[in-house]
Amino acid sequence: MSEETYLLEMKGLDKSFPGVKALDQAFLRLRAGTVHALMGENGAGKSTLMKCLFGIYKPDTGEILISGRSSKFGGPREAMEGGVSMVHQELNQVLKRSVMENLWLGRFPKRYGLVSHKEMAAKTQAIFDDLGIGVNPRAIVGKLSVSQRQMVEIAKAVSYKAKILVLDEPTSSLTNEEVEHLFEIIKKLKADGTGIIYISHRMEEILRISDEVTIMRDGKWIATEPACGLTVDKIIKMMVGRDLTQRFPPKTNAPGAGQEKPLLSVRELTGMYPPACRGVSFELRKGEILGVAGLVGSRRTELLETIFGIARRGSGTISKNDVPVNNRSSAEAIKNGFAMLTEERRASGIFGGLDVTFNSVIANINGYKKYGFLSGRHMRRDTQWVIDSLKVKTPTQRTRIRNLSGGNQQKVILGRWLLTSPDVLLLDEPTRGIDVGAKAEIYQLIIDLAAKGKGIIVVSSEMPELLGISDRIIVMSGGRMAGVLDIADASQEEIMRLAAKYA
């Protein structure tokens, strides 16, 4: 097929950062009106390649052609004006402004030299109607759910009438119904001739909607093949360079071993301010992995936040080892032996502009003080423990954490909490946006921690994940606990039945 038939060509791209070569002769071709999946482990170079396309990074060598013409964007705005839009996995929105202001930021419609909010609302509503998005254009973005915010970002990308649309983990925060809606939008864009680069770790999605799949590993192009000829096993083997025969590690923890009383007891827990959990009761045993399932809006995150003191408790009790705890703030929760890994790494997990050392030790910072001064030696020692114990891939301790892959960022945050020596770990979507190889490592870490006697509560939207690592699963619905399942009796069908009980 001639070169003119390609909407996008990226040929021979190299990109290096201090201590790491992120791209090594990377290669990608995209046809108009197709979905081209880009796959690889975290750190494979997918995001770096897309940032080169989008003008965020300037490649050291190589060429980017759009419709046969050489293109070098000076930044995201140039890229969007040049017909390239990108919906990032980590949402970057102005949370205190309205949906329509976020949509038209930097290009507000004006009338007589003044911003026309009426025209902005009308244009936003027209796009939402076309895409079937039920969000009020005047709503404040910070008050929307993560899934609604994701759909707003997709609408913003579409508003630029992009010829090339990059979707980075677009379904990571969507319900099954919203995923189907997104696929309908993708189908419409394909029919209009848009070329879509689709980045996801969800294999079944890739095989369902993609026309072609490109695999990257260690910054290099590995293969490009028609999606119809691929299987999940074949994709995994190309991604990781080996067979991954066991998706979930064997369970080595022993819940409740040698302990009559529960490690954690929650009774009739209700949050003070909506949206909140209501009347939730359960027990967590020492060495147990307790899964929390439910649909978006079931208040799974709010449950963890209320336990950890981020959200105010209205009523109910929390006891650890039969001793009541208040947890009126996250600081108090940490002192009481609790730790929480949040759902959105970028917004509430990492300090992106700071290094691995800072991100590792910040939750335990008072432990490094001596005579009013911080001990750099002790902080470096503990940071190295995090790197070594959790197998964090980083050039140095001084590397900014935002330059690490998502999986390695997640390991650093988990290591941060382990340095506080918690008894109870609250993990909210611990593998969101992480590739299959890194997921297996995170699963092993969770099981190992439970085997050492930690009590672990895991919220996840991926039911196979909960079924693969949990000892029991509680199901949330409409803010209430709809049921609890022993893993031997649990199934996706039973979880879904309970999840819809109060929805």
State the CATH number of the domain containing residue 40: 3.40.50.300
Question: Does one domain contain both 451 and 417?
Answer: no
Checking if the pLDDT of 353 tops 90, the result is no
Print burial letters for 22-43: b (CB count within 10 Å at least 16), e (below 16): bbbebbbbbebebbbbbbbbbb
Q: pLDDT grade, residue 101 (50/70/90)?
A: very high
Per-residue model confidence (pLDDT) at position 346: 63
Average pLDDT value for residue range 483-502: 89
Question: Does one domain contain both 44 and 143?
Answer: yes
Q: How far apart are CA 434 and CA 42, in angstroms?
A: 6
Structural domain of 160 = 3-240
Q: Which of 240, 270, 297 is the last residue of a domain?
A: 240
Question: Does one domain contain both 49 and 129?
Answer: yes
Question: Does one domain contain both 359 and 329?
Answer: no
Cite the beta strand spans of 264-332 per DSSP E. 264-271, 280-284, 289-293, 313-320, 323-325
- Inside any domain, residue 349: no
**326: enclosing H helix or E strand:** none
Q: pLDDT grade, residue 41 (50/70/90)?
A: confident
Highest mean pLDDT among 140-149, 221-230, 488-497: 221-230
- Please state, for a pLDDT cut of 70, what percent of the chain lies above it: 96
Domain count, the chain: 3
Q: How far apart are CA 497 and CA 428, in angstroms?
A: 22
Checking if the pLDDT of 4 tops 60, the result is no
Residue 399 and residue 355 in contact, taking contact as beta carbons nearer than 8 Å:
yes
- Give per-residue pLDDT as tens, 75-92: 988 998 888 998 887 777
Per-residue model confidence (pLDDT) at position 2: 43
Q: How far apart are CA 217 and CA 46, in angstroms?
A: 9
Average pLDDT value for residue range 11-32: 89
Task: Indicate the average pLDDT of the chain.
Answer: 89
Query: Would strands 61-66 and 280-284 be described as parallel, antiparallel, or unpaired?
Result: unpaired
Average the pLDDT over each of 264-273, 473-482, 493-502 and give the range with the smallest value.
493-502
Q: Which of 421, 440, 462 is the last residue of a domain?
A: 421
Per-residue model confidence (pLDDT) at position 196: 96
Q: How far apart are CA 428 and CA 140, in angstroms?
A: 24
- Inside any domain, residue 162: yes
Question: Does one domain contain both 156 and 92?
Answer: yes
Q: Which residues contact 71 (CB under 8 A, 6 or more apart)?
A: 64, 65, 82
CB-facing half-sphere around the CA of 91: CA atoms within 13 A = 26
Average the pLDDT over each of 29-43, 241-255, 383-397 and give the range with the smallest value.
241-255
- Inside any domain, residue 348: no
Q: How far apart are CA 294 and CA 429, in angstroms?
A: 12
Q: Which of 211, 240, 269 is the last residue of a domain?
A: 240
Average pLDDT value for residue range 350-364: 90
- Inside any domain, residue 152: yes
Distances (CA, A) of 28 to 9, 141, 225: 6, 34, 12
Question: Does one domain contain both 89 and 210?
Answer: yes
> Residue written as tokens 């079924």?
467
Average pLDDT value for residue range 363-387: 88
- Please state, for a pLDDT cut of 90, what percent of the chain lies above it: 52
Question: Does one domain contain both 146 and 271?
Answer: no
C-alpha closest to that of 127 among 162, 105, 159 = 159
Per-residue model confidence (pLDDT) at position 212: 96
Average pLDDT value for residue range 287-306: 92
Task: Kindly give the residue spans of alpha helices, DSSP state H, lying in 56-175.
Answer: 76-81, 99-103, 117-131, 146-159
Question: Does one domain contain both 92 and 28?
Answer: yes
Question: Does one domain contain both 366 and 277?
Answer: no
Question: Does one domain contain both 164 and 268?
Answer: no
Q: How far apart are CA 98 and CA 341, in angstroms?
A: 28
Checking if the pLDDT of 1 tops 60, the result is no
Single pTM value for the model: 0.62
Query: Would strands 455-459 and 289-293 be described as parallel, antiparallel, or unpaired?
Result: parallel
Question: Does one domain contain both 151 and 128?
Answer: yes
- Inside any domain, residue 347: no
Can you give the length of the chain in residues? 503
Average the pLDDT over each of 23-37, 65-79, 198-212, 430-444 and give the range with the smallest value.
430-444
Question: Does one domain contain both 327 and 469?
Answer: yes
DSSP tally for the chain: helices H, then strands E: 17, 24
113 three-class SS: coil
Per-residue model confidence (pLDDT) at position 493: 84
Checking if the pLDDT of 136 tops 50, the result is yes
Q: pLDDT grade, residue 139 (50/70/90)?
A: very high
Q: How far apart are CA 160 and CA 76, in angstroms?
A: 12
Per-residue model confidence (pLDDT) at position 3: 44
- Inside any domain, residue 359: yes
Q: pLDDT grade, residue 177 (50/70/90)?
A: confident
Q: How far apart are CA 187 and CA 241, in angstroms?
A: 32
- Inside any domain, residue 440: yes
64 three-class SS: strand
Per-residue model confidence (pLDDT) at position 149: 87
- Inside any domain, residue 343: no
